[in-house]
Each structure stands twice: as structure tokens, then as C-alpha cells.
Structure 1
Amino acid sequence: MNIGFFNGEFIDINKAVIPIDERGHQFGDGVYEVVKTYHSVPLLLDEHLERFEKSATAIHIRLPYKKAELKSIIVEGIERAGLENAEVYFQVTRGIAPRNHLFPDVPPSFTLTVKPARKIAERNYESGVQTIIVEDDRWAKCHIKSLNLLPNILAKQNAVNSGNFEAIYEKDGFIAEGTSSNVFVVKNAVLYTTPLTSNILPGITREAILQIAKEEGIESKEERFTKDFLMNADEAFISSTSVEVLPIRTVDGQIIGSGNPGEMTKKLHQLFKGLC
């Protein structure tokens, strides 16, 4: 079943608990994480919690729980839900206070939900997905996993409305990332991905893939690349907690490589699944 948690208490997920003056509701003043479970075990939980802490620190929110306490809450939530394959969403906001742009002197709010993991159609892994390139019109601190996702939502919806799975951001002539994913390219047996800057999110799955590549002796490069480089790739894929390693079939209608998932993409996905 679905489970909710709000400020120290597990609750019915349908219970109304967010006050009008919640700063996450009014300002998007908070940060979040999503962790996927496999056989009721949260994958890469320590890495997600570390990024959560970094994001909170970056916007000057002090987490209401220590790392060990957060782990305990998450594990209990998973046990209460009784779901083998779930998505654990948790967020912290600056708290509940009368609407004012200045930071209030109130405790932060922590919210968590445990729900069945979203299912990605198997055909997407077998055939690859269609993507489009869009101009990156987001704020300048994309390395923070902030609640402010309106530009991402609009770009993602635009992609889906035009028959695509994902929109990929282009900034200053270089590929950044997807609306909810990181982007990888394979060219001449070398794995490429955009380097970590404030323009992209440091994806947990992204980092796991790079570590797998290192262990397998696959040459990888974190360097900027253009849309043309992506369009002329031998293989390309996106990565995230939800989709894992998902092949790209087309970019702006142009087929990538042979049009089928490449051997390196399939190998990396299989090795990633081995972590689960």
C-alpha cells in the first residue's frame, strides 16, 4: 500500500496535512530526492542521502533529522508499505510560516511517500525512445535538486505532446541533460557524458554508470559535447533513478546509430541491474 510521513508521523497518504502557509507549497522553497527499491531494498540510498544533504545546505535549510534517522524513517516506510518495487519520495522545505520572502525562524518540514515504482514499458528498452532538443531556460543552479521544476515540467510535456519520451536541454551550444535524466553518448567505443557543473544535476545513476564503466575497463570522458555530436553518435541513452539506462532511438526525428539499442548501452544496463 501507499505510505505517507509528515513531520514525525506516518500517516494515511490521502490525509490532508500541508497547511496553506507551507513554503514548499507557496515558494517551492525546498529540495527533494527519489529512491527506488528493488525487492524492498533501497538502491544507492547513502548516495541519495548525501545529495539530499548537499542540496539542503546549498539553500540554507538545516535537515530536521540526521542521516541515520532518515535511513530509519525510509526503511520503516518501505516496511509499512509492503512493496517490493517502490519509489520513495522525500523532501524538506523551509517550513510553515506566513508568506514572506525572507527566511522565517521556524522548523523545517519533512515529508515522505512510498508508492509503487513507475513502470517503464519494456518496448522502450527494446526499441529505444524518441527525444527532442530544447533550449535550456532553467535557473543557474541546476545542481541543486530543488522543488522548482516548472521549466522541466513544461519541456517534458512539450516532448510528450509531440510524441517523444524526453526533452534534452541545450545550453550555449552544448548538451546539458534531460528534463529528468542525464545524457550519455557512445562514440568509437568511448562513453561520453556532460561534466558536472551548476548546469546539471549530479545524477546518482549517472555516477553509478561511470563507476561501472571504470570497473569494466570502458573508456569514459566527462566533457561537453554538441547536438551534432549527439546526433552522430554510435549509441546514446538517458539515465535516472526511474528509467535506469534507457536507449535513445531518435533525436529531433533523426535516428541515432543503427536505430536499435547499442551493445554498450545494453551491457551497462545489465550491469546496473546487477546492483539491484
Structure 2
Amino acid sequence: MYFFKNKFVNKKDVLLSPDDRGYYFGDGIYEVFRVYNGKIYEQAAHMQRLQRTASEVRIELPFTIEKMGHILTQLIEKNGLNEGTVYMQITRGEAPRAHPFPAQVEPILLAYCTEVRRPIATIHNGINAITLEDIRWLRCDLKTLNLLPNVMAKQAALDHGVQEVVLHRNGTVTECSASNLMMIKDRVLYTHPANHLILHGITRAVVLRLALSQEITVKEEPFTTEQLLLADEAFITGTTVENTPILQIDGKAIGTGAPGPITRSLQSEFERTFAQ
């Protein structure tokens, strides 16, 4: 069961118009919500980010935040989803192809559920990564449909036999192709500040709160690829990856080359936040 425009429909009844601006301009926004035990995790934070992105790109939300939350709850119930994700996308609407915003256009909402198991193996065993220059636009804080650079980066990782790409701008680490990045050095957690160069990750925010609660010093400041390679630990955070350790970057072991104790501890605390 999907939600499309203003009603619940079967997937075969989702009829996308070729005039949808999301199709030919990527003129739209989205959110991916994690579902644990049939409930949306950090729903308020996700909705706040969605609302902010919509405001910044000047897309009028088709429903109130409260109404959209109710739609997602119904969608989860109708699909019997216990563990997985809900994808929600809002495009500016349908109009003949022209760059300026069309007048009196109605935004289009699409949402659906996917059963996705937690990636226990990679959370426990870790992943490897490579570094690449960050060629994305300068508003990475907005969760828009323009993801081709991220797609290319993720494919580059797979082409190199690893699972993720660490992006950097002239040597300054930003984030990864589909996740935020954190590193540990001398029991200090470093991560790029939440400005226009990275997505303000929901899991990222939760992990920073957990780190502070464990009396781990947190520094939201830029660091270089050279500093990252000398880290004691490194890990990614994200809605679908939770806290996943990075074992190697560009073939070089991070720390001992095994998941570190702080990463492990933060993941354990993270699991407590949705097990309650």
C-alpha cells in the first residue's frame, strides 16, 4: 500500500506524470524514516528537517506536519510494518517543463514502506571505505532529490570493493555518500559542523547527545583526511546504518583495524533509545 497525492492506493495505481517537476528537474524533497517495533524513530526531528528543507527550496507542504505524521502512521499500519523504513517524497508538482516556479502548482506527496532488517553484520563487523573529492552542490544540508553525485560516489565505493566513500573538499572531510562521519582521537569525538556542507543527520544528533552523556568530549569542527587516517576509531551514522565502524580507509587500517570500544559503546546506547 502506498500513499499518493491524497489517498492510499496500491503500487500499480501510482501514476506519475511526465510533467512532474521531480521527474525532469529533481525539484523535490524527501525523508527516510526508520521504523522500530512498528513506530517511527525520532519522528519529530525528521519532520522538523523536512519542514526546514521545504521552506528553503520554497515548496509548500501539501499537508500539515501533524496530518503527514498521521498518514505515515496509517501507512505503517496498513502495511503491517514492524521493522523497516518509510520513504516520503514531495515534489513541487506537475507543470510543463520550464525553469521558473509554475503558478498555482500543487505539490505531490508519495510515501511507501519497505521492510528492512537492521544491518547487524556490518554494525558488528565494520566496513571499509575510500576517499573521494566532494563534488556536490553547496547546500548539502537540504534533503532534496538531487542525489546523482551521491549515487556516483556510492557506485565508486562498490567498484573498489568497499562499502562507503568518505567525501572531502580539498582535503577537509565532510561526510559520506549516504551517511555522516565521526572519528575518535584520544577519547575526543570529532565530526564536521552541521553547516551547509553536510546533511544534518538525525542519527548524528542522537549520537552526539549520547556521547556527551558518556562524558566524551565532542568537537564539531573540520578535520582533514590525514587526521582521519590517524584516528583511533572512525564510524558512520545514519538512519539505516545506525553506528557502523570503519575498519580501513584507502587500504589503511583505522586504529587497530577493528571496531573500537567507544564506537561499540555508542551503538549499545543507541540501541537502548529504540528498545524502550
Q: Is the 8 A contact 1:61 1:94 kept in 2?
A: yes
User: Is 2:139 the counterpart of 1:177?
Assistant: no
Distance 1:240 1:78 in 2: 21
| 1:237 alignment counterpart | 235
> What is the CA-CA distance between 1:183 and the residue it aligns to?
0.3
Distance 2:191 2:141 in 1: 15
Q: Is the 8 A contact 1:129 1:247 kept in 2?
A: yes
Count of residue pairs brought into register by the alignment: 273
Listed as ranges, the matches of 1:6-25 within 5 Å are 6-25=4-23
Pick aligned residue for 1:48 from 46, 49, 64 = 46
| 1:219 alignment counterpart | 217
Distance 1:246 1:44 in 2: 19
Listed as ranges, the matches of 1:17-96 within 5 Å are 17-96=15-94
Listed as ranges, the matches of 1:109-148 within 5 Å are 109-117=108-116, 119-120=118-119, 122-148=120-146
Distance 1:182 1:8 in 2: 33
| 2:266 alignment counterpart | 268
Q: Which amino acid aligns with 1:207?
A: A
SS in 1 for 2:12: coil
Structure 1 gap ranges (5+): none
Structure 2 gap ranges (5+): none
Distance 1:194 1:27 in 2: 29
SS in 1 for 2:227: helix
SS in 2 for 1:73: helix
Q: Which amino acid aligns with 1:54?
A: R
| 1:108 alignment counterpart | 107
Give the root-mean-square deviation of aligned CA atoms.
1.0
Distance 1:144 1:265 in 2: 27
Q: Which amino acid aligns with 2:37?
A: H
Distance 2:236 2:224 in 1: 16
SS in 1 for 2:152: helix
Distance 1:178 1:184 in 2: 10
Structure 1: 4+ residue segments shifted above 6 A: none
